[in-house]
Amino acid sequence: MVLGALGKRYRDGEVIIRQGEPGDCMYVVQAGQVEVVQHTEQGEQHLAYLQAGDFFGEMAVFERQVRSATVRAAGEAKVLKVDKKTLLRRIKEDPLLAVNLLQTMSHRIRELDGQLAKHEERAR
């Protein structure tokens, strides 16, 4: 998902979004890598590393809920912030963008379902 050359540079370990904070935009990794972590009662849990071309924070665009995870730079990273208005305009210009978003979100849900099933097996 290429939305332009603008973006903000983040230093290693710098937080981009924080779990529990309200959100109204999504982000696209333009360069480098970011780490997605979730804070639980057992401590911090690593969820994923995202690379250039990957996106995160999209649930806030559609649901207006608080952030479900913290995302921070893993090394230096350049990340583009995309608000809802911009996203909807880009989808109107290129409907395949919506299909790509849905495919990625569906893939993430399947991965989480698999992780949940493994966790439930271990708990038995």
Do 24 and 82 meet the contact criterion of CB atoms below 8 Å apart?
no
Q: Is the pLDDT of residue 57 over 70?
A: yes
Percentage of the chain with pLDDT > 90?
Answer: 60
- Mean pLDDT across 43-71: 91
Tokens of 73: 């730079």
How confident is the model at residue 5, as a pLDDT? Answer: 55
User: Does 2 score more than 50 pLDDT?
Assistant: no
Average pLDDT over residues 105-120: 81
- Domains of the chain: residue spans and CATH: 8-123 (2.60.120.10)
> pLDDT at position 78, please?
97
Q: What share of the chain is helix, strand, coil (3-state, %, to 5)?
A: 35, 35, 30
What pLDDT is recorded for position 101? 87
